[in-house]
């Protein structure tokens, strides 16, 4: 599957009110092209809900549901069971943000994964609560400035590292777990296709750089996603029943300093902070890709 194999017809309309340069609409639009018409989408509270479903408007051309923040996985479980009971194969997709996945939605998510519900759960990860005005979440990387972890004189940005949510989901040994980046279209589309074909619980985790919250030029969203992959801040892999089956390894590893450049949320970084973040990236890199390349 490549870009040119995608259908022209879109199931997600223009006219939505996402910030200019937000890659989330491109992420969901291209996913929907593969999921197809026989799909029902659920979102909890997140930016996507607000920019794609402001009453009475809706950007989706498929049935669309909204419920509370914490119960995405519980709701899609129920919807899927109802469809299956009626003998229908309709694809049931829940799309939550990082706050609704890492923090608020994790218990429902863990439960649904353990029960192996026949759903696709998508986490689009912009590394903070952007919808409510950039508050830190479990997904916010070390040192990033948010409104609840401001870059002050004594404490500069978030003190803790990002939680590895995809690994938590892999540990559930569900049929399919994949991490995706919109900057790598072929890899992205193949994983979405694979998720569609798989039965049982599927977890897709997409990085979604946020021009407003990360404070960078809106034209650079895709470029920053690409740098996230090349630096190892974001890793791309697939896992089936807990076993890693496919790894996308960047051709050349770039220093984390190059990734954080141009992002206002890291502007206050000292050389010590860069070193701390690099250490975290290197640990993650070694775990997935093996030895570090010689620098």
Partner 1 sequence: MYEIRFHGRGGQGGRMAAEAYALAAFLEGSYAVSFPFFGAERRGAPVRAFTRVDDKKIRIKTQVYEPDYVVVLDETLIETEDVLEGLKEDGMVIINTAKKPEEVRLSKPVKCATVDATSIALEILGRPITNTAILGAIAKATGRVSIDSIEKAIIEKFGARLGKEAGEKNAKAARVAYEKTLVGVAQGGKAFVPRKKWLPTVEEMPIGGATPAMETDAGLVGIGSFIENKTGDWRTFMPIIDKEKCIGCKFCWFYCPEGCISMEDGKASVDYDYCKGCGICANECPVNAIEMKREVRT
CB atoms within 10 A of CB 18: 18
59 or 79, CB closer to partner 1?
A: 59
Q: Are 233 and 142 in contact (CB under 8 A)?
A: no
Q: How far is the CB of 53 from partner 1 (least distance, A)?
A: 8
Distance of CA 146 to the CA centre of its chain: 18
29 or 81, CB closer to partner 1?
A: 29
Contact map string, positions 163 to 192, toward partner 1, x by CB under 8 A: -------------------x--x-------
Among 34, 43, 50, 232, binds partner 1 (CB under 8 A): 50
Is residue 262 part of the contact set for partner 1 (CB under 8 A)? no
Among 58, 68, 273, 274, binds partner 1 (CB under 8 A): 58
Is residue 87 part of the contact set for partner 1 (CB under 8 A)? no
User: Which residues, numbered 4-23, are part of the site for partner 1 (CB under 8 A)?
Assistant: 4, 6, 8, 10, 12-23
Among 46, 71, 221, 263, binds partner 1 (CB under 8 A): 221
Using the contact rule CB under 8 A, the part of the chain among 51-59, 140-148, 159-167, 242-250 near partner 1 is: 51-59
Is residue 34 part of the contact set for partner 1 (CB under 8 A)? no
Q: Strand 236-240: give its sheet, edge to edge.
A: 64-66, 39-43, 91-97, 120-125, 202-207, 176-181, 236-240, 243-248
| Binding residues with partner 1: total (CB under 8 A) | 48
- Whose tokens are 């206002």? That residue is 264
DSSP secondary-structure letter at 172? T
Is residue 196 part of the contact set for partner 1 (CB under 8 A)? no
Which tokens belong to 94? 């829940």
Give the bridge partners for 12, in sequence order. 60
Which tokens belong to 6? 């995608």
Q: Are 163 and 138 in contact (CB under 8 A)?
A: yes
Using the contact rule CB under 8 A, the part of the chain among 119-127, 158-166, 211-219, 230-238 near partner 1 is: 211-219
CB atoms within 10 A of CB 89: 9
DSSP secondary-structure letter at 161? P
Among 36, 37, 38, 57, binds partner 1 (CB under 8 A): 57
- State whether the Cα torsion 138-143-147-149 is positive or negative: positive
Using the contact rule CB under 8 A, the part of the chain among 44-52, 116-124, 139-147, 190-198 near partner 1 is: 44-52
Among 212, 246, 274, 276, binds partner 1 (CB under 8 A): 212
Is residue 54 part of the contact set for partner 1 (CB under 8 A)? yes
Q: Are 44 and 100 in contact (CB under 8 A)?
A: yes
7 or 295, CB closer to partner 1?
A: 7
* Radius of gyration, alpha carbons of the chain: 18
Q: CB-based burial of residue 143 (10 Å sphere; 0-12 exposed, 13-18 middle, 19+ buried)?
A: buried
56 or 87, CB closer to partner 1?
A: 56
Dihedral (C-alpha) 42, 198, 202, 16: value to the nearest 10 degrees?
Answer: -30
What are the residues binding partner 1 (CB under 8 A)? 3-4, 6, 8, 10, 12-26, 29-30, 47, 50-52, 54-64, 182, 185, 211-212, 217-223
């Amino acid at each position: 599957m490549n870009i040119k194999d995608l259908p022209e017809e879109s199931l997600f309309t223009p006219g939505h009110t996402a910030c200019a340069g937000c890659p989330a609409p491109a992420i969901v639009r291209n996913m929907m092209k593969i999921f197809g018409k026989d799909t029902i989408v659920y979102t909890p509270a997140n930016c996507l809900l607000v920019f794609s479903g402001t009453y009475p408007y809706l950007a989706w051309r498929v049935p669309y549901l909204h419920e509370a923040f914490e119960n995405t996985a519980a709701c899609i479980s129920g919807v899927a069971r109802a469809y299956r009971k009626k003998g229908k194969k309709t694809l049931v997709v829940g799309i939550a943000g990082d706050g609704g996945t890492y923090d608020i939605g994790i218990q429902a998510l863990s439960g649904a994964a353990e029960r192996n519900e026949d759903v696709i759960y998508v986490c689009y990860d912009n590394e903070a609560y952007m919808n409510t005005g950039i508050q830190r979440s479990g997904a916010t990387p070390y040192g990033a400035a948010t409104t609840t972890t401001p870059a002050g004189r004594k404490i500069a940005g978030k003190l803790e590292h990002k939680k590895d949510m995809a690994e938590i989901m892999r540990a559930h040994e569900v049929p399919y777990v994949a991490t995706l980046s919109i900057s790598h279209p072929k890899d992205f589309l193949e994983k979405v296709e694979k998720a569609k074909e798989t039965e049982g619980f599927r977890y897709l985790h997409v990085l979604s750089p946020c021009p407003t919250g990360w404070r960078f030029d809106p034209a650079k969203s895709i470029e920053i996603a690409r740098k996230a992959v090349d630096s190892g801040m974001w890793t791309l892999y697939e896992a089936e029943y807990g076993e890693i089956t496919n790894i996308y390894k960047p051709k050349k590893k770039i220093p984390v300093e190059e990734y954080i450049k141009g992002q206002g949320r890291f502007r206050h970084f000292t050389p010590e902070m860069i070193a701390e973040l690099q250490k975290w990236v290197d640990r993650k890199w070694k775990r997935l890709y093996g030895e570090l390349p010689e620098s």
